[in-house]
C-alpha cells in the first residue's frame, strides 16, 4: 500500500509529522482493533480501520487510499458507507484529524455523516487540520 498510496494521503501523513507513508500503513494496522483492505478485482483501493486510544471514550477511524481509488469511486463510497454504519453500531463516538487541504477527504467524510470542524494547528509541523467527528446517539431504556 505504501508504494501505491494516493499523493494526497502521503501529503496528509507527512503534514502530521508522525510517520513516513510506508510506516504509517504498518503503524495504523498494528494499533487497530479492526483493520481491513478494500479491493476492486485485483486493485487495492485502500486500507482502513479503527483504533481505540487508551483511557478515552472515543475511537479513531482511519483510511489510506491508493492511486486506484479514483477508478472505482462508487465501490469506495458504498463500502465506506457500509463500514461507517457497521462501526456506528459498536462505536458511538468517532474522532479523527484530517489535513485541512485534503478537500476530497473532507467532502467524503461529510457525505458519510461526519461533522467537520474549523481548521486548527495540529501535528509536529503545525499545519492546519480539521477535527472530524461522528456521534451516534444511544437509546437509553429505563424502567422495568
Q: CATH assignment of 2-135?
A: 3.40.630.30
Q: How many helices (H) and strands (E) does the chain have?
A: 4, 6
Residue 2 reports pLDDT greater than 90: no
- Listed by start position, the domains of the chain span 2-135
CA-only gyration radius of the chain, Å: 15
Give residue 12's pLDDT band: very low, low, confident or very high (50, 70, 90).
very high
Which range has the worst mean pLDDT, 62-66, 72-76, 97-101, 123-127?
A: 123-127
**Alpha helices by DSSP H, 17-72:** 21-31
Distances (CA, A) of 21 to 27, 52, 81, 144: 10, 21, 25, 52
Residue 70 reports pLDDT greater than 60: yes
Model confidence pLDDT, tens digit, residues 134-144? 999 876 556 65
Amino acid at each position: 500500500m505504501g508504494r501505491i498510496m494516493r499523493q494526497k494521503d502521503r501529503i496528509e501523513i507527512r503534514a502530521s509529522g508522525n510517520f513516513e507513508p510506508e510506516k504509517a500503513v504498518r503503524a495504523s494496522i498494528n494499533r487497530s482493533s479492526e483493520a481491513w483492505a478494500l479491493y476492486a478485482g485485483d486493485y487495492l483501493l485502500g486500507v482502513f480501520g479503527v483504533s481505540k486510544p487508551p483511557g478515552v471514550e472515543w475511537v479513531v477511524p482511519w483510511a489510506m487510499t491508493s492511486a486506484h481509488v479514483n477508478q472505482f469511486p462508487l465501490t469506495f463510497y458504498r463500502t465506506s458507507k457500509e463500514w461507517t454504519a457497521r462501526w456506528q453500531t459498536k462505536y458511538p463516538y468517532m474522532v479523527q484529524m484530517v489535513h485541512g487541504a485534503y478537500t476530497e477527504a473532507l467532502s467524503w467524510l461529510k457525505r458519510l455523516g461526519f461533522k467537520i470542524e474549523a481548521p486548527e494547528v495540529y501535528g509536529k509541523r503545525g499545519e492546519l487540520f480539521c477535527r472530524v467527528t461522528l456521534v451516534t446517539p444511544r437509546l437509553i431504556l429505563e424502567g422495568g
